[in-house]
Structure 1
Amino acid sequence: MKVFLRLLDFYINSSIHVALAVCSLLLLTYIEFKIPLSKSLLFFVFFGTISGYNFIKYAKVAGLHHSSLTNSLKSIQVFSVMAGVLMFYFAFQLSISSLATIGILGILTVLYAVPFLYRKSLRNVQGLKIFIVAFVWAGLTGIVPFIEARETIIIDVLIIFLQRFIVVLVLIFPFEIRDLPYDALILKTVAQKLGVINVKRIGYFLLAVLIGLEFLKEMVHISFLLSLLIISLSIAFVLFKSKTTQSKYFTIFWVEGLPILWLGLVLLLDDFLM
């Protein structure tokens, strides 16, 4: 059991879980619009998410305690470097247009972690943090696939971008609630400014908007509509259950894993309804 828990912790702490979640949203775009899958983009997103998230999470810690890092953190550092090398390998296989778009999203990611404005990073700018994360995820999984496939950006693509933005935004709310006792008051996070109850109400409203947007698409696929309803209810449930005292794995495993569940639902429903 201890070995299993250690492997699970490495799987989560090394950002493999969140990388699979981002890739799941990317694959959902490919499946829904039936555009040719770019394996290079898929692997770039997977390894890029691992290296990017680990840089954000551990760069400061590693810099302060480089001589006394735990074995676990050292393993994650080595793993992150390997992921970074593979990210660059697959980056060279992408189109210039995709790389330009990814570059803009990448700059936002770097500025999110690295202090530049009065010794602050975007992560510390009041109320901005969750919108940057949602924007980067939505752009990477909802816009870049079409640019890489040289597909026209139609209204349905913009709706997908907005839907991804909403999904990620609401998925961050349980983290905001969890961190409420620990976040510095100067951050003025959404949970700090509005309170737990109001954050949940906004989340429920955004999920209703998320479903409504599906009916604005030119093509509504029954499998995607059903899966969207199920995943929206699932997100609403975890948001309802969110509190400042949560189990260790509630957010970092179950909440972050919902995009993976969404992909699984689409694949099952596609197979069942064919």
Structure 2
Amino acid sequence: MKYLKSFLDFYIESSLHVALAVYALIRITFLKLNIPYEEPVAYFGFFGTIVGYNFIKYDELARVKKIKLNKMFKAIIGISFISFFAALYCFLELKTKTKLVGFIALIITILYTLPFFPKKSNLRNWSGVKIYLVAIAWVAVTVFLPVLNGDYDFDTTVLLKSIQRFVFVFVLMLIFEIIDLQVDVKTLQTIPQRIGIKRTKWLTYGLLLLFILMDFLKENATEKHIITTILVAFIIAGFTFFANNKRNTYYTSFWVESIPLFWLLLLLFL
């Protein structure tokens, strides 16, 4: 049991799990828009997420606090190093217009982690901004990259898909903010800090109705797509209902971040 927990901790802390979630959402975009699957896009999202998230999580620890390199931290550095070159290779395989979106996502990651100006805080510490930045970045990587590289027209369907994906990531982030309520500093001005847990949950339920509605508005939405969207919305609602600031980190960092994988499996096997 001890070794299983150590493996699970490493799997989560190395950002492999969140990278799989990004990969799943990219595959979902391919499936729901009927775009031919392209490996460079999917794997760029996967490996790029490992590099980006590990840079965000461990930059300050390594650069400012200068923590000691234990075995797990060394392994995470190794995975990040390999993922960087894998992401670079996939990036070079993308079309020029797709590379531009990938580059913008990189800039957001850097500004999210490093100070915008000398002696100023980074974007992550700007009051109330974090949740929107994360949602926008995920839309850019999981919707815009597949659409651009697949030469798919930016029509109403893509607009609705982008709004739906933004709402999806936003409501997942709200669950994170509920769980992190006790540890987040008050200057972050997260939504639960401003309106409380109960109102945040009601906000989530309302956004989930919008999430479902987006599928009914799409011209090419199939019965399978609508059913899977409703199921995913109910799952998120369940996690929201039971969310509180006394839950452990596995509640969000493993189970909530597994929802995109479950969504993909529903689309593939339903």
**Shorter-normalised TM range:** over 0.9
Q: Which residue of structure 2 lines up, in the alignment, with residue 237 of structure 1?
A: 238
Kindly report structure 1 stretches of 4+ aligned residues shifted beyond 3 Å: 64-67
**Within 2, Cα distance between the matches of 1:231 and 1:213?**
13
**Partner SS, residue 220 of structure 2:** coil
Q: Which residue of structure 1 lines up, in the alignment, with residue 183 of structure 2?
A: 182
1:69 to partner: Cα distance: 2.0
1:65 to partner: Cα distance: 4.7
For residues 50-69 of structure 1, the aligned pairs below 5 Å read 50-66=50-66, 68-69=68-69
**Within 2, Cα distance between the matches of 1:160 and 1:78?**
35
Residue identity in the other structure for 2:227: L
1:67 to partner: Cα distance: 6.2
For residues 163-242 of structure 1, the aligned pairs below 5 Å read 163-242=164-243
**Within 2, Cα distance between the matches of 1:115 and 1:236?**
36
The aligned length equals 269
1:49 to partner: Cα distance: 0.3
Flag structure 2 segments of 5+ consecutive residues without an equivalent: none
The Cα offsets for residues 109-146 of structure 1, whole Å up to 9 and x where unpaired, read as 21111111452111111101001100110121112211
**Within 1, Cα distance between the matches of 2:185 and 2:103?**
30
Q: Percent identity, aligned pairs only?
A: 37
**Within 1, Cα distance between the matches of 2:131 and 2:257?**
14
**Within 1, Cα distance between the matches of 2:82 and 2:264?**
27
Question: Are the aligned partners of 2:61 and 2:67 in contact in 1 as well (CA < 8 Å)?
Answer: no
**Partner SS, residue 55 of structure 1:** helix
Residue identity in the other structure for 1:255: V
The alignment status of 1:7 with 2:7, answered yes or no, reads yes
The alignment status of 1:268 with 2:251, answered yes or no, reads no
Residue identity in the other structure for 1:62: A
Residue identity in the other structure for 1:22: V
| TM-score of the pair, normalised by structure 2 | 0.97
**Within 2, Cα distance between the matches of 1:128 and 1:65?**
25
**Partner SS, residue 256 of structure 1:** helix
Q: Which residue of structure 2 lines up, in the alignment, with residue 272 of structure 1?
A: none
| TM-score of the pair, normalised by structure 1 | 0.95
- Residues 231-240 or 146-155, more deviating: 146-155
**Within 1, Cα distance between the matches of 2:75 and 2:111?**
25
Q: Which residue of structure 1 lines up, in the alignment, with residue 112 of structure 2?
A: 112
Flag structure 1 segments of 5+ consecutive residues without an equivalent: 270-274
1:182 to partner: Cα distance: 1.4
